[in-house]
């Protein structure tokens, strides 16, 4: 690509101007609602999978993928200790509580994510209804 020293210097200047360098990306502040919903989705996905509710786990995985994409370039680290959800009743209760978190986010957000948060709240409530 840069076959001469002059070409190399010009290329380096262009890349630096365009931000294409090895300088670490400066992360912007995370959206608190997106982060909270992502953490909840990860916990529920893990619990649903371990209890054999694979289709419900797939719903949470879809939520995780969307929330992670919206949070970029931020990356929310996995939490080390997920809350223990040992049986179907506990999972239904956790789904219901997590639905409430998404509901609150939907009703209070002033951003563009009201519908997304509402969908997640409704999906989690439906999980709770059929597991219970």
Instruction: Give me the residues that bind other proteins (CB under 8 A), please.
Output: 55-56, 58-60, 62-63, 99, 103, 106-107, 114-115, 118-119, 121-123, 125-127, 129-130
How close are the terminal C-alpha atoms of the chain, in Å? 62
Instruction: Report in angstroms how near the CB of residue 10 gets to other proteins at its nearest.
Output: 48
Are the C-beta atoms of residues 121 and 40 closer than 8 Å to each other? no
Nearer to other proteins, 39 or 113 (CB): 113
Could you give the CA distance from residue 11 to residue 65 in angstroms, rounded to a whole number?
36
Cα–Cα–Cα angle for 45, 51, 53, rounded to 5 degrees:
65
Nearer to other proteins, 31 or 59 (CB): 59
Instruction: Report in angstroms how near the CB of residue 115 gets to other proteins at its nearest.
Output: 5
Nearer to other proteins, 39 or 63 (CB): 63
Looking up tokens 């992360």 gives: 27
Instruction: Report in angstroms how near the CB of residue 111 gets to other proteins at its nearest.
Output: 11
Could you give the CA distance from residue 33 to residue 35 in angstroms, rounded to a whole number?
5
């Amino acid at each position: 690509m840069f076959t001469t020293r002059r070409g190399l210097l010009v290329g380096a200047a262009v890349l630096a101007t365009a931000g294409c360098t090895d300088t670490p990306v400066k992360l912007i502040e995370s959206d608190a609602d997106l982060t909270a919903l992502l953490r909840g989705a990860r916990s529920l996905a893990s619990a649903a999978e371990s209890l054999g509710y694979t289709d419900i786990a797939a719903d949470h995985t879809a939520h995780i993928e969307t929330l992670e994409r919206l949070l970029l370039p931020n990356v929310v680290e996995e939490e080390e200790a997920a809350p223990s959800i040992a049986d179907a009743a506990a999972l239904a209760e956790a789904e219901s509580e997590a639905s409430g978190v998404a509901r609150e986010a939907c009703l209070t957000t002033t951003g563009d994510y009201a519908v997304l948060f509402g969908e997640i709240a409704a999906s989690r409530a439906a999980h709770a209804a059929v597991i219970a």
